[in-house]
Amino acid sequence: MAFRPLHDRVLVRRIEAEAKTAGGIIIPDTAKEKPQEGEVISVGSGTKSEDGKVTPLDVKAGDKILFGKWSGTEVKVEGEDLIIMKESDILGIVG
């Protein structure tokens, strides 16, 4: 991919939620919420402190993450809908 986020930003692809509940009920598109789980595609170089030292990010490409419902900015890169967010918007790494 030809896009690389800067500084403490992360590029994320949403992981779509299941269309069926555990009991077998199919959830229509109109009732679905946007998934809050995603896969990190690429990360920036890290945060820069006042003395110029760069601290690398805790997440890396390939990590599965959870993020807040309203986190990040939705963008379209090479025809794919992705999200750019700050590392601080990430709630945690899954598994």
User: Residue 28 falls within a domain, yes or no?
Assistant: no
Using only C-alpha atoms, what is the Rg of the chain?
15
Q: What is the largest distance, in Å, between two alpha-carbon atoms of the chain?
A: 56
Instruction: Tell me which of 18 and 16 has the higher pLDDT.
Output: 16
User: Residue 87 falls within a domain, yes or no?
Assistant: yes
- pTM metric for this prediction: 0.76
Q: Which residue has the tokens 């900015």?
A: 73
Q: What is the mean pLDDT of residues 13-19?
A: 75
Lowest-pLDDT range of 16-20, 64-68, 75-79: 16-20
Burial (0-12, 13-18, 19+ Cβ within 10 Å), 31: exposed
- Number of domains the chain is built from: 1
Distance separating alpha carbons of residues 41 and 59, to the nearest angstrom? 10
C-beta neighbour count of 76 within 10 angstroms: 8
Domain of 88, in residue numbers = 9-15+33-93
